[in-house]
């Protein structure tokens, strides 16, 4: 009797150990730099290699769009810092969306998603493009129907989340993968955080002074380390906004034309600019800030005419280009796996 209890407990311990070693084998640690704050990862979606691999396949999966012609990566191209180079993105049926595809970098630190901040988690965000009739135009049910026929997805789903592929799995795997998009290796990072004094040229130093000056106040909203404070502002792009911005979620007139401050990391690689892609180049953006924008009752008080010289505008541009992280856009672990 005693022996068999002993045996059973040994077996239980062995099984438990095996369970654990599988889990340990899969656990994945996001490569977060020491100079960023500690991120929070949802308890029910801790990273494992299988979850990330599944998310990586789904991100490039064209079956996720009604017409099987477009994946997440159609609008979020890795080599363009996950943008698409278009003013406004075109969806599965060729219809023009209303916003510019934003860069997807350092999503681990983003407190809410979309230009008006209407989506609270990265997991939930995936539902928006999938189901939007102007974007991928898929119902979750149809997406699952298509994917569950594919053995690779079924197997990966079991390994990753211990259940058949469904909406629970799809949105979590996409989020687990997108959290690997960490960009912290620009020349700015080398200079500021890693103290490589020779990382900057004289021009870039001068541009940095303007960026961090009280007068230009760029850093008040585009604050370090993410070059955004994740707050919402009207910067006076228009007297009348076609897109109401944050007002769409709060229904307050005082939020009309307010958009989430975009990160400036990799900004050189993500034209065109602004929520509607209305500015083609960084020179145009700098000229916009130089003139102080249009009048609007909600416009932030810091957006004022700057009267910069041609040289000063050049310095600011040079500084903005130090935020480019070439390793980020060449990172092969972001690229599609063979299907």
Residue numbers at the binding site for ligand HEC (CB under 6 A) = 70, 72, 74-76, 89, 91, 97, 99, 101-102, 104, 107, 113-115, 122, 125-126, 129-130, 135-136, 174, 178, 216-218, 220-222, 233, 235, 237, 259, 261-262, 264, 267, 270, 273-275, 282, 285, 289, 300, 302, 316
Closest distance between ligand HEC and the C-beta of residue 338, in Å? 20
Q: Which residue has the tokens 């130089």?
A: 290
Instruction: Give the nearer residue to ligand HEC in terms of CB position, either 2 or 141.
Output: 141
Closest distance between ligand HEC and the C-beta of residue 281, in Å? 10
Residues 6+ apart with CB under 8 A from 271: 85, 279, 280, 281, 282
Instruction: Give the nearer residue to ligand HEC in terms of CB position, either 8 or 140.
Output: 140
| Local structure of 48: helix, strand or coil | strand
- Identify the burial level of 75 via C-beta atoms within 10 angstroms of its C-beta, where 0-12 means exposed, 13-18 middle and 19 or more buried: buried
Residues 6+ apart with CB under 8 A from 103: 81, 82, 83, 262, 263, 265, 266, 269, 270
Closest distance between ligand HEC and the C-beta of residue 48, in Å? 18
Distance CA 307, CA 312 (A): 9
Closest distance between ligand HEC and the C-beta of residue 13, in Å? 41
Instruction: Give the nearer residue to ligand HEC in terms of CB position, either 47 or 174.
Output: 174
* Best CA proximity match to 122, nearest among 76, 83, 172: 172
Closest distance between ligand HEC and the C-beta of residue 122, in Å? 6
Sign of CA pseudo-dihedral 140, 334, 282, 120? positive
Q: How far apart are the first and last CA of the chain?
A: 53
DSSP string, 137-183: ---HHHHHHHHHT-HHHHHHHHHHHSS-SSHHHHHHHHHHHHTT---
Residues 6+ apart with CB under 8 A from 204: 187, 315, 318, 319, 321, 322
Instruction: Give the nearer residue to ligand HEC in terms of CB position, either 206 or 237.
Output: 237
Closest distance between ligand HEC and the C-beta of residue 25, in Å? 27
Instruction: Give the nearer residue to ligand HEC in terms of CB position, either 165 or 174.
Output: 174
Closest distance between ligand HEC and the C-beta of residue 90, in Å? 6
Instruction: Give the nearer residue to ligand HEC in terms of CB position, either 78 or 102.
Output: 102
CA distances from 218 to 186, 294, 320 (A): 18, 18, 11
Instruction: Give the nearer residue to ligand HEC in terms of CB position, either 2 or 39.
Output: 39
Pairing relation of β-strands 232-233 and 259-260? antiparallel
For the chain, what's the residue count?
339
Closest distance between ligand HEC and the C-beta of residue 35, in Å? 21
Closest distance between ligand HEC and the C-beta of residue 158, in Å? 22
Instruction: Give the nearer residue to ligand HEC in terms of CB position, either 14 or 263.
Output: 263
Instruction: Give the nearer residue to ligand HEC in terms of CB position, either 79 or 194.
Output: 79
Tokens of 165: 């592929």
């Amino acid at each position: 009797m005693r022996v068999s209890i002993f045996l059973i407990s040994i077996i239980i311990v062995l099984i438990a150990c095996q369970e654990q070693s599988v889990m340990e084998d899969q656990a994945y640690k996001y490569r977060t730099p020491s100079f960023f704050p500690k991120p929070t990862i949802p308890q029910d979606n801790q990273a494992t290699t299988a979850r990330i691999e599944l998310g990586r396949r789904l991100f490039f999966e064209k079956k996720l769009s009604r017409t099987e012609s477009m994946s997440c990566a159609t609008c979020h191209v890795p080599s363009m810092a996950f943008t698409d180079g278009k003013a406004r993105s075109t969806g599965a049926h060729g219809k023009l969306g209303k916003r510019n595809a934003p860069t997807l970098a350092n999503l681990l630190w983003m407190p809410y998603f979309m230009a008006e901040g209407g989506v609270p988690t990265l997991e939930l965000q995936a539902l928006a493009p999938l189901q939007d009739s102007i974007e991928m135009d898929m119902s979750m049910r149809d997406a699952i129907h298509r994917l569950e026929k594919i053995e690779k997805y079924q197997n990966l789903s079991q390994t990753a989340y211990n259940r058949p592929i469904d909406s629970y799995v799809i949105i979590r795997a996409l989020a687990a993968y997108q959290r690997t998009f960490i960009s912290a290796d620009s020349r700015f990072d080398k200079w500021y955080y890693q103290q490589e004094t020779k990382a900057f040229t004289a021009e870039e130093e001068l541009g940095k002074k303007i960026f961090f000056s009280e007068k230009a106040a760029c850093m008040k909203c585009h604050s370090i380390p993410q070059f955004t404070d994740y707050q919402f502002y009207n910067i006076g792009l228009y007297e009348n906004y076609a897109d109401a911005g944050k007002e769409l979620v709060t229904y307050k007139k005082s939020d009309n034309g307010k958009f989430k401050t975009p990160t400036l990391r990799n900004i050189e690689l993500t034209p065109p600019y602004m929520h509607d892609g209305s500015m083609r180049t960084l020179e145009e953006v700098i000229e916009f800030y130089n003139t102080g924008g249009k009048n609007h009752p909600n416009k932030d008080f810091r957006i004022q005419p700057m009267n910069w010289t041609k040289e000063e505008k050049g310095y600011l541009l040079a500084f903005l280009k130090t935020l480019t992280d070439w390793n980020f856009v060449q990172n092969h672990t972001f690229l599609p796996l063979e299907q």
